[in-house]
Structure 1
Amino acid sequence: MATLEAMAARFAEGRPVRFTGHGSKDFYGGPLGDAEPMSTLSLNGVMAYEPSELYVTAAAGTPVADVEALLARHGQHLAFEPPRFVGAASGGTGTIGGMVASGLSGPARATAGAVRDHVLGLTMLDAKGELLHFGGTVMKNVAGYDVSRLMAGSLGVLGLIAQVTLKVLPQPVATATLRFEAKQDKALLQMNRWGGQPLPVSASAWWDGALVVRLSGAEAAVRAAIHKLGGSAIPEAMAAPFWQGLRDQCDEFFLGARRAVQGGATLWRIAVPSTTPPMPLHGEQLVEWGGAQRWVVTPMAPAQVREVVAAAGGHATMFYANDKSAGTFSPLGPQLTRIHKELKRQFDPAGIFNPGRLYPDL
C-alpha cells in the first residue's frame, strides 16, 4: 500500500511520531508531547468479514461504529463493547486501531473478556518499515508468543497497527435490565454472590445508591433470572441508552467527572479484586464489572489514591486529569520495567513511536 510505504519512509527519518485517528483518546495515557502526528485515517475499510466463521478484519483507521453497523446487519457484535466515544466529550470517533492500542473495554468486559481476548490476528508496521503479520482468523492459529494480543493496551509504543482481525459473536437473543436500591457495600456483596451462580448477567453498575444489572442470553434463561433476582425492571427504551452512555463514557457520571476535573479533581480508573469492600477514597464513585472496576473522581493526591488501591491488591490509572506528572499508570516493578524496555528495544530501538504515552521512559 502506498500509504504504508510513505509511513515507512517517515519512520526512516528517525523523528518521533505519534499515531492518531480522530483523536478521541488523546486524553488517555501520558502527554502527547512534541511528536509529529501521523494519521491512520487513510487506512480505512473492512478487509474481510465471514459471519459464519465469526471473524472480521478491518484497517486501523476504520471507525468502530462502522464495523459494528456491519456486524449488526448479520445479528453479530463485538462482545466486549469497546468505547466508541461517539458524541463523548473527548471528541472524535473511536477507530479500530485506537480501540486495540488503548485496550479499553465496555460494560460486558467481566463476562465477555477484554479487547485482547478477541484479537485473532494483527498486521503492524515496525520501526524498520517492515510489515509484520501475527495470528490468524481463528484462536487455534495462535502459537508461540502472541504479539497480536501484546499490542492491546500498548498505546502505540511498539509500532503502527495497520489492520486487525477480531473475533465476533452473535448478539444475545434476549436482554433485560433490573434495578435494585443498595448501598455500595451491599451491592458489592450481591454482585459477587450472583457472579458465583449460573446467571446470564452480562453487565452491572452501581452508582448513587442504585445497582443496575443487565441480563443477556436465551429467552428462557433471562426470564428465569428475572424471576429469581427480582428488582425493578427497566424498560429497554431506557436501559439501552443507559448502557450505551456507560460504554461511550458520555452518561451523567462521566460528564460530571469531567466538570470536576476542570475544577482540579482527577477521574481514576481502578482495578481491584471484585470482592474488595468499599475503599476509603473521597469523592463520587461508580462500580462496574461485578466490583472489579471502580471509577472514582476525587481531589485526593495521587500518592494517597495509589496507596489505598495498592493495599487492596489493585492498581490505579489516571483517566482524566489536568496534571499527570505523577504518572498516568501505576509504577512498574523492576522486573516488569525490564520486560517493557526490552520489548520497546526490539520493536522500536530508536524510540520514535508514541514516546511517553505509556511510561515516560518508553
Structure 2
Amino acid sequence: MESLAWLKQRVLDAAQHQIPLRLRGSGSKDFYGEMARGDLLDVSVHQGILRYEPTELVVTAKAGTPLALLEQTLAECRQMLAFEPPHFGAKATVGGMVAAGLSGPRRAASGAVRDFVLGMSLLDSKAELLRFGGEVMKNVAGYDLSRLNVGALGTLGLIVEVSLKVWPMPAASETLWIAMDAANAIEHLNRWAAEPWPLSASAWVDGHLILRLEGAQAAVSEAANRWTVIEWGGALRWVLCSNDDASIREQVRAIGGHASLFRSLDKRHPVFTPLAPAMMALQRRIKREFDPLGIFNPGRLMPSLDVNA
C-alpha cells in the first residue's frame, strides 16, 4: 500500500474506534514537550523529495523525509535551510522539524521555521487531506494556516507534505572567538546594535563571545577585522538553571516574553508557560476545529488543550 494511503487508513481506523495516535518521525525530539499518549504512528515511511526548483528557491518534501537528505540535496545546489534547524538525531525528519518549530543559531538573523513554510498538506481527524498555502513566495488568500501547525507538535493534524523557501549559501563564512566579560559585551552590544554587520549566529560562553559572520567575502572580511559585539538578536535566549523555573518564568513574563523548558531530568516541571485564559480558550477552539475527536498527539503540547480535558 502506498504510504499516504496507509497513513490515511491508520487515521481513519483511529477515528472510527476513538483511539488516540502518537505521531512520530524518527523520535529525535521525543524529549521536547510533554509525553503524548496513544498508539504509535510511524510517519517516517512517508518520505521523498517531491519537487525542487533551485532557480525558484522552493522545495517540497514528504514529512518523513530525512532532514539530512534534504539538506544534502540543497547543498549540492549551494542552497540551504536558512533557519538552520537542529537535528537532535541522525534520522531527524522534515515533518518533525516543522512540528517542533525549533530553529538554530541563524534564527535571529534569518527568521524562524514558520517564516520559511510556504505551504503544507495534512490529514485531519477524518483522514481528509487538507492543503494550505502553496509553492509561491507570496500568498494573499487569507491567514496562512500552514504556519499554525509549525510548533504545534502534531496536535492539530498529521503533516504529510511541506513546501519550504530556501536560501543560497553565503559566499564566505568566518567564526570569531573573543575573550570578553559580560559587562564589556553589553557595552559593545549597545554601541554596534544598529550597524549592518553580517552576523548570522552568536553565543556568549564562559567569558568568551563567539560570532559567526556570513555573506559576501568583502563584508565578512571587513567585519572580522573590526567586530566587537555581543549577541543581541532578541528573538531567542538560552538559560541553564537548577530548578527555579517559576522564578524564571515570572521574570520573563514581566518583560513581555515567555519561557519554555527545553530539557530537564525532573518531569514535574511544565514544559510550556501556561496560557492566559483568553488565549487558552482560543487555542482550545483551534484544537476542536482541527481535531474534534482528540486523536492527534493528546497531551503532547499542553495537556489542558486536549479536547477531553
TM-score by length of 2: 0.92
Q: Give SS of 2:210's match.
A: strand
Alignment pair present for 1:162 and 2:175: no
Distance 1:187 1:292, change over 3 A: farther
Shift in Å, 1:178: 1.3
- 2:32 maps to 28
Tell whether the 8 Å contact from 2:9 to 2:127 is kept in structure 1 after alignment. no
Distance 1:185 1:36, change over 3 A: farther
Q: Following the alignment from structure 1 to structure 2, what is the Cα–Cα distance between the partners of residues 192 and 99?
A: 34
Tell whether the 8 Å contact from 1:3 to 1:42 is kept in structure 2 after alignment. no
1:122 to 117, 120, 125: 120
Distance 1:45 1:288, change over 3 A: farther
1:66 to 64, 69, 81: 69
Q: Give SS of 2:246's match.
A: helix
Alignment pair present for 1:145 and 2:143: yes
Shift in Å, 1:146: 0.6
Shift in Å, 1:31: 1.9
Alignment pair present for 1:218 and 2:216: yes
Shift in Å, 1:196: 1.6
Q: Following the alignment from structure 1 to structure 2, what is the Cα–Cα distance between the partners of residues 206 and 7?
A: 47
Q: Give SS of 1:349's match.
A: coil
- 1:187 maps to 185
Distance 1:36 1:124, change over 3 A: same
- 1:4 maps to 7
- 1:203 maps to 201
Tell whether the 8 Å contact from 2:134 to 2:163 is kept in structure 1 after alignment. yes
Deviations 1:320-359 (A, max 9, x none): 1133333210111112111100000000011111111111
Q: Give SS of 2:251's match.
A: helix
1:110 to 104, 108, 113: 108
Alignment pair present for 1:15 and 2:1: no
Q: Following the alignment from structure 2 to structure 1, what is the Cα–Cα distance between the partners of residues 228 and 285?
A: 52
The 5-angstrom pairing of residues 254-333 of structure 1 reads 290=233, 292-333=235-276
Q: Give SS of 2:52's match.
A: strand
- 2:295 maps to 352
- 2:41 maps to 38
Q: Following the alignment from structure 2 to structure 1, what is the Cα–Cα distance between the partners of residues 45 and 104?
A: 26
Q: Following the alignment from structure 1 to structure 2, what is the Cα–Cα distance between the partners of residues 188 and 117?
A: 29
Q: Following the alignment from structure 1 to structure 2, what is the Cα–Cα distance between the partners of residues 112 and 289?
A: 14
Shift in Å, 1:303: 1.5
Tell whether the 8 Å contact from 1:135 to 1:142 is kept in structure 2 after alignment. no
Identity %: 52
Shift in Å, 1:311: 2.6
Q: Following the alignment from structure 1 to structure 2, what is the Cα–Cα distance between the partners of residues 40 and 56?
A: 19
Q: Following the alignment from structure 1 to structure 2, what is the Cα–Cα distance between the partners of residues 38 and 124?
A: 14
RMSD: 1.8
Report the number of matched residues.
Answer: 301
Tell whether the 8 Å contact from 1:191 to 1:291 is kept in structure 2 after alignment. no
Distance 1:153 1:210, change over 3 A: same
Q: Following the alignment from structure 1 to structure 2, what is the Cα–Cα distance between the partners of residues 359 and 347?
A: 16
Shift in Å, 1:193: 3.9
- 2:50 maps to 47
Greater share of strand residues, 1 or 2?
A: 1
Q: Give SS of 2:265's match.
A: coil
Deviations 1:224-252 (A, max 9, x none): 21222169xxxxxxxxxxxxxxxxxxxxx
Distance 1:291 1:347, change over 3 A: closer
Gaps of 5+ in 1: 87-91, 232-286
Deviations 1:88-128 (A, max 9, x none): xxxx5211000000000000000110000000010000001
Tell whether the 8 Å contact from 1:19 to 1:156 is kept in structure 2 after alignment. yes
Shift in Å, 1:177: 1.1
Gaps of 5+ in 2: none
- 1:271 maps to none
Q: Following the alignment from structure 1 to structure 2, what is the Cα–Cα distance between the partners of residues 326 and 100?
A: 25
Q: Give SS of 2:91's match.
A: coil
Q: Following the alignment from structure 2 to structure 1, what is the Cα–Cα distance between the partners of residues 247 and 122?
A: 39
